[in-house]
Amino acid sequence: MTPERKARIQRVLNSRQPDLCVVTDYVHKGRNLSAIVRTADAVGAMDLHCVIGDKEYKAFRGTAKGSHGWVKVHRYTALADAVQPLKAQGVQIVAANLSAHSVDFREIDYTRPTALLLGAEKEGVSVEGQALSDAEITIPMVGMVQSFNVSVAAGIILSEAQRQRQLAGLYDAVRIDEKTYQRLFFEWGYP
Amino acid sequence: MTPERKARIQRVLNSRQPDLCVVTDYVHKGRNLSAIVRTADAVGAMDLHCVIGDKEYKAFRGTAKGSHGWVKVHRYTALADAVQPLKAQGVQIVAANLSAHSVDFREIDYTRPTALLLGAEKEGVSVEGQALSDAEITIPMVGMVQSFNVSVAAGIILSEAQRQRQLAGLYDAVRIDEKTYQRLFFEWGYP
Ligand SMILES: C[S@@+](CC[C@H](N)C(=O)[O-])C[C@H]1O[C@@H](n2cnc3c(N)ncnc32)[C@H](O)[C@@H]1O
Ligand SMILES: C[S@@+](CC[C@H](N)C(=O)[O-])C[C@H]1O[C@@H](n2cnc3c(N)ncnc32)[C@H](O)[C@@H]1O
């Protein structure tokens, strides 16, 4: 490992946010899932909880290849299996959903342990997803088209989460435990 | 035209921002261009200046079909042809570029007449694009991957532009001239 590579990995591990993650509620296009993983990595999120059918998941793993190494992708076929363990840990479930009772996405406190729940390309967040979430948020739009591409919506919301966490100093001290740090350091450094 | 449709079109026209646009510097994947057009519409931008080869452009027009009606897509083969007329009108050219002299994207005043210049999937912003721009901006990243997908980057930056313009009241009064308003009203209302 070159000194540059080592320093880069350490910088990234020093910024990792164990209490920020993404849940996808049957988002099934590989290119959207890949863009979401890439964005999750960029803001320091460590886990993508991916609720999806078997076949679509295989296709996604196939197209995305190595690029998933930085964010752990967990796979479920039922949304509750992804969400209930997070809720049990006190993580707030924030659903990105274009509904009448959604609040502006900037009103949420993302410095709290947070899972961002994203809806499917056509169907949006499922009825179950809405029931399981603690808050529903919307990104204001002033155009003719009714929604953003889901990976674009993820980028806008996670970037706001990152801004808030930056201000709160959550990137200024190591937030993952020593064991996880060492494990990822070796996995990433000596693949 | 139903009264709902009429009200919707009027609401959108009342929010249009004639002095906010996007320039793409050889972004060539149809799905990225389509997501960028969709996001431009969502924040009230009216024009996408698309610098691209003939063949890629045809493919893009083919896949995107009707969804482009809300944002006018102009096509160029040379970047200067897209950018020089904007500069002549006093529009600031803001390049999204991962370079050492880029500033944080939130430091820019997007209430000024602004064109956001986006770089190609692999090559990024061209040397010419960098030379033609008034400012270079970067979205901070703390992960292992070096860049966002270009349509995700566009969403993050345009959403900040929208936030600033909202605060400045730029969506509160009609900003397009009467002739353009009437033309778009009839084009959109009676297609
Ligand atoms: C293409 S949209 C789904 C549209 C679907 N027809 C609906 O009405 O929910 C896919 C997902 O992207 C996210 N999304 C897109 N635009 C959004 C917005 N303006 N605010 C919040 N989330 C948005 C949501 O998670 C949504 O479920
Ligand atoms: C996939 S990136 C190009 C990466 C290319 N290897 C480079 O270094 O420029 C495509 C475009 O998305 C935009 N982009 C992606 N990530 C960005 C970031 N963090 N800050 C600013 N712009 C970004 C830029 O316009 C960039 O040219």
Q: Looking at the DSSP assignment, which residues form a beta bridge with residue B21?
A: B47, B115
Tell me whether residues B142 and A70 touch, CB distance under 8 A: no
B71 neighbors B94 (Cβ within 8 angstroms): no
> For residue A130, what pLDDT is reported?
98
The ipTM is 0.97
Mutate to test the pocket of ligand 1, among A98, A125, A146 (most ligand atoms within 8 A of CB): A98
Backbone angles phi, psi at A98, to 5 degrees: -85, 70
Distance from the CA of B79 to the center of ligand 2, in angstroms? Answer: 17
- By Cβ distance, the residue of A40, A142, A152 closest to B155 is A152
Tokens of A35: 């863009």
Bridging pattern class, strands B114-119 and B92-96: parallel
Q: Are A178 and A62 in contact (CB under 8 A)?
A: no
pLDDT at B168 > cutoff 70: yes
Find out whether B25 and B118 touch, Cβ atoms under 8 Å.
yes
Residue B183's contacts (CB-CB under 8 Å, 6 or more residues apart) are none
Helix, strand and coil content of chain B, in percent to the nearest 5, comes to 50, 20, 30
- Name the residue at shortest CA distance from atom 4 of ligand 2: B124
Residue A60 Cα to ligand 2 middle (Å): 23
SS3 A161: helix
Q: What average pLDDT is seen over chain A?
A: 95
Model pLDDT, residue A65:
53
Tell me the average pLDDT of chain B.
Answer: 95
* Chain A residues with beta carbon closer than 8 angstroms to that of B40: 143
Neighbouring CB atoms inside 10 A of A44's CB total 27
Please indicate whether residue A150, judged by its CB atom, sits closer than 6 Å to ligand 1. Answer: yes
State the average pLDDT over residues A50-54: 94
Cα A160 to the chain's mean position, in Å? 13
Whether residue A59 has pLDDT greater than 90: no
Q: Which amino acid is at A15?
A: S
* Percent of chain B at pLDDT exceeding 70: 97
pLDDT mean over B14-24: 98
Mean pLDDT on B98-118 = 97
A22 lines ligand 1 (CB under 6 A): no
Cα A76 from chain centroid (whole Å): 15
Instruction: Compute the distance from residue B33 Cα to the ligand 2 centre, in Å.
Output: 14
| Portion of chain B with pLDDT greater than 90, in percent | 89
Mean pLDDT of B65-74: 78
Q: Which residue has the tokens 């890949």?
A: A34
Maximum alpha-carbon separation in chain A: 52
Work out the average pLDDT over A67-85.
92
Q: Find, among B44, B53, B42, B49, the residue nearest to B73 by Cα.
A: B49
Q: Which residues of A touch B (CB under 8 A)?
A: 8-9, 11-12, 15, 31, 35, 38-44, 67, 69-70, 106, 139-145, 148-149, 151-156, 159, 162-163, 166, 171, 188
Pair A153, A94: CB distance under 8 Å: no
Of the partner residues A44, A143, A163, the one whose CB lies closest to the CB of residue B143 = A44
